[in-house]
Structure 1
């Protein structure tokens, strides 16, 4: 019995010894030496920039509201042309894309660099980009999660509160002012930055150009604040040349969302709006042949082939607003067309190809804002010169989309000479040109149209006068909150609605007076 006990004790000892020897070093062995444990915040900023390229929602709503692109088809494409609210299908993508793939990454990049003097430039670049994304969101929706936006990962804020736009704009202006001033050419060069390759002079111009844009937003609601903000931006130095334009360059790996849409399933569904085509056509604007194509005689999408395509500006015919796929056929016949497929389109083989860039802030836009600021007496310089230079910059910008869209210098100068800034029409002319210069930048075109009231478009009549959301003779003024927010963050969003006004398309944001 004693032997059995001794043998058992020995066996147990050997078992323990074997277990210890087998697990020795396992902790070291089980470390994955190729799995990253940290991430360069420059990559976070790059990811935010890539995902800022405007989602397809901006075609359905923003570009439709300002009457640049339109579709007669409903379903998932129903939006601006129908004066219709489609929260799940079209509103959520901008909100979700920006909060999940822009704000989240800039917030994280800011948190990782805030206390690192060696990455001060990256810290301020991320602040500028985050301010830009927040400006787009608040301009589209009004009250949004701002002070707690993007803090889900860093601070475990799962149900962020909403800030009112009148509180957001002063903060954005302060952020842009401080971050732009803090950028230093003697600091670390963030060469991996995909916007400007770490060029601090260009980042400063971008930051101050956004500050100019933010200041001009306040021109009606707070003229004094608008003036001081615009003056600070002007003194800081804004984008005046196309080589400094802020844009997302697309390629086969990072394609344009809008280009993908207009070259994919929706290739035959979107058309240039009559008001936009006529504005260019009636003024002999050479940009029309850069932008438009018409497939003469096409009766279906498959018939829209290059052999019947024309970019001749005199042949372009824009689609009128307010028609659906049940009524547009008769209208096309009345216009002398073979079908609605015969209306002019944005040329998807040039400006809308999926590798075409998307522009965020351009020399043309800033020059035109300076023209208005000069006209208002807020800055020095000649308003007429800023105006002419803004037109020139936008025409020169056409070649960046595609060499086939380039505007000849002689045509450019002929147009500029025949369209000077006229006394008594300054605001109309400047902001109509801003509308043209912001083509394909839906959020900016929509925001400036509401701010300025130009161009003087006729309201889309579809669904009126019985549309309770968009009363007869009015325009969509904002987008409504996505269903996901109403169902998940209901307490905070409802509190915001109580302060801002009904969550409908006709409610105005704070600066839209």
Structure 2
């Protein structure tokens, strides 16, 4: 045990010194290899594992922003959204500087706690700290598995590990949550070490709620591949205390600077532009008029209901099933989900205190006037995006994009506001709305849960609206039968399918001639063969997707991989997409799992560093090590 302690624990101490403020580390830091077991406390390792896994700006930009928020369709972008990946990013994340180090630390916490308990050298709360460490280990392992697929359960301890298939991983995680939650003594207080828990201050009742709510999440992940296990685990967890109040949210406060607690969305060169996917969910959803949301000086920019915008065929892609493709909205939508204007700021709204002007070294954020040109580069039309609302389609715009200087320009699109960019917020890992939407889905499946589907669904909406401080709209919103751009409404009791088409208006952007078009709602072949757009499950996942924005993109990506919901529009294919060869100009109006990223590739160093483990991983993966290979629990 002494040699194990030196091999596993001491590297963790080195990793965590910069992330903790305890005076006990002064002596350890002087000569870390002389650290004794009495100098290492479980809470130090837990604290370091939680803090460091908030992600410093280097890894946050690569994983949280460019992988998760793009794959999860919370922001416009390329890369993984079109099947790409970056081996350097994935290798950084997987390695000891980041995920490997976080797991090393939390495994160390568990080992130290178990050794202290075995030796009798314990404090009143040592047993509870062991359970907290096990719960956080579950989260970290689930994050790793949901990105890559098969992983080691007992890895990250200084030796090459065996890999486990995802079924074994998930069964282990669910067992751990069940056992750890049951062993927490929530009557204990640990106020003297509360500063070593950035999430809950060692409020053990909240840790128990987090464990149970996370068990709901992981159980539901198995709904399509192992429904009996999913149901049994979910029902058992639902009978315990859950995260249902804002004060119980698992979140960690950010701080300015450059360390693990710096905000995950602070890099100035990342624009955080609205995605076409969430925009199509927002438009018309809930029936709340823009006139009731925007300032008086913006009211004249609001367009009529079912107005699509300027039709600009020569400059805007149409080779995508994005229902807004081909049009540029020269104003604000008639009605829109009220969270839209809170999560993303209207272009040109520079007097809005939440307007973000990044990057600070140029004026692109405040520049709204841009041009469309012809093949020779001559200006065909000048557009001003001030007080407009547009989201560019993903993918290749080809020659049309080359002649279009506005569609993805920083100042011409809605972007996340300042409160998410300046390290003054709290990064949310699990909030009450997720608990409620999980309960709503379980109820819809006929599982035994403590709330009806409707009650849980509406409670989730209420929790999300409370977060955005827009509860005054909630009653009207929940009663709305208006369809959004993809054919879904809000009201739980309104499950009528939308008509095949609806009449929309537009203006020819080149001639200014007014026109009408019969617009069809997009077909989502991934869900019930595209025959259903407005059932309860579609409503639940639509609301969950919106509520998870901007903080929980990995879950949004996972829901789409698991269910094919909500509707994800295909990347445009004006030119072929090298990394998504299955998607082409002949099938872009259909949906297929091969059109969307499914996972991250393993680091290129893994086959050399652990050949046996890599071979196991590929065997369990059941396909090639590619971004388009579905995980065990996902749709195939």
Provide TM-score, normalisation by structure 1.
0.81
CA distance in 2, matches of 1:425, 1:34: 58
Alpha-carbon distance in 2 for matches of 1:435, 1:304: 29
* 3-state SS of paired residue (1:252): coil
Local SS of the residue matching 1:258: coil
SS of alignment partner, residue 341 of structure 2: helix
Match of 2:546 among 421, 436, 449: 436
Identify if the C-alpha distance between structure 1 residues 180 and 326 changes in structure 2 by more than 3 Å, giving closer, same or farther: farther
Report Cα offsets for 1:336-373 as digits up to 9, x if no partner: xxx72233243341233323221111101110010001
CA, structure 1 residues 378+464, in 2 after alignment: closer, same or farther (shift >3 Å)?
farther
Instruction: Give the whole-Å Cα distance in 2 for the aligned partners of 1:180 and 1:297.
Output: 47
Structure in which a larger fraction of residues adopt helix:
1
Counterpart secondary structure, 2:420: coil
Distance 1:502 1:208 in 2: 34
Q: Report matched runs for 1:81-480 at 5 Å.
A: 81-88=81-88, 90-96=89-95, 98-115=98-115, 116=117, 118=123, 119-147=126-154, 149-152=155-158, 157=159, 159-187=160-188, 189=190, 190-192=193-195, 193-252=197-256, 255-261=261-267, 264=268, 266-268=269-271, 270-283=272-285, 284-296=336-348, 302-304=362-364, 315-323=388-396, 328=401, 330-331=403-404, 333=406, 340-380=409-449, 381-398=451-468, 407-418=469-480, 419-421=490-492, 422-423=494-495, 425-440=535-550, 441-462=552-573, 467=578, 471-472=582-583, 473=592, 474-480=595-601
Compute the TM-score of the two structures, normalised by the length of structure 2.
0.66
Answer yes or no: is the 8 Å Cα contact 1:319–1:343 preserved in 2.
Answer: no
Residue 297 of structure 1 deviates from its aligned partner by 11
Q: Secondary structure at the match of 1:69?
A: coil
Distance apart, 1:307 and its partner CA: 9.5
1:146–1:33 Cα change, 3 Å: closer
Distance 1:464 1:108, change over 3 A: farther
Can you list the C-alpha shifts for 1:47-68, whole angstroms capped at 9, x where unaligned? 1111222522232122222322
Deviation at residue 324 of structure 1 after TM alignment? 6.6
What whole-Å deviation, never above 9, does each CA across 1:231-274 have from its counterpart, x for those lacking one? 1111112111111000111123554452222xx2x244x42112
Counterpart of 1:510? 632
Contact 2:348–2:367, Cα closer than 8 Å, also in 1: no
Tell me the distance in 2 between the aligned counterparts of 1:332 and 1:307: 12
SS of 2:558's equivalent in the other structure is: helix
Cα distance, 1:308 vs. partner? 7.3
> Is contact 1:83–1:463 with CA below 8 Å preserved after alignment?
no
- What SS is found at the alignment partner of 2:194? coil
Unaligned runs of 5+ residues in structure 2 are: 1-25, 286-335, 351-356, 370-384, 481-489, 496-533, 584-591
Structure 1 residues 454-478: Cα deviation after superposition (integer angstroms, max 9, x where no partner): 1111222459756466622521111
Kindly tell me: are residues 146 and 282 of structure 1, through their superposed partners in 2, closer, same or farther at Cα, counting changes over 3 Å?
Answer: same
C-alpha spacing 1:347/1:456, structure 2 compared with 1 (3 Å): closer
User: Tell me, which stretches of 5 or more residues in structure 1 are unaligned?
Assistant: 1-30, 72-77, 399-406
- Check conservation: 1:47, 1:101, Cα contact below 8 A: no
Task: Note the aligned Cα RMSD (angstroms).
Answer: 3.0
State the alpha-carbon separation in 2 of the partners of residues 203 and 103 from structure 1: 19
Q: Cα–Cα, structure 1 residues 394 and 256, in superposed 2: closer, same or farther, change >3 Å?
A: farther
Change (3 A) 1:322 1:146: same
SS at match of 1:209: helix
Segment drifting more, 430-439 vs 319-328: 319-328
The 8 Å contact of residues 65 and 446 in structure 1, kept in 2 or not, is answered as: yes
Spell out, residue by residue over 1:174-194, the C-alpha distance to the aligned partner (whole angstroms, 9 max, x if none): 000000111002446252322
Take 1:507 and 1:287, find their aligned partners in 2: how far apart are those partners? 34
Counterpart contact for 2:365–2:411, Cα < 8 Å: no
Partners of 1:313 and 1:429 lie apart in 2 by 32
Contact 1:109 1:126 in 2 (8 A): yes
1-structure distance, mates of 2:542, 2:164: 32
**Structure 2 CA distance for aligned equivalents of residues 326 and 482 of structure 1:** 35
Q: What secondary structure sits across from 2:429 in the alignment? A: strand
Alignment-derived partner of residue 9 in structure 1: none
CA distance 1:320–1:196, change in 2 (3 Å) = same
Q: Which is greater in Rg?
A: 1
Is residue 164–residue 620 contact of structure 2 (8 Å, CA) maintained in 1? no
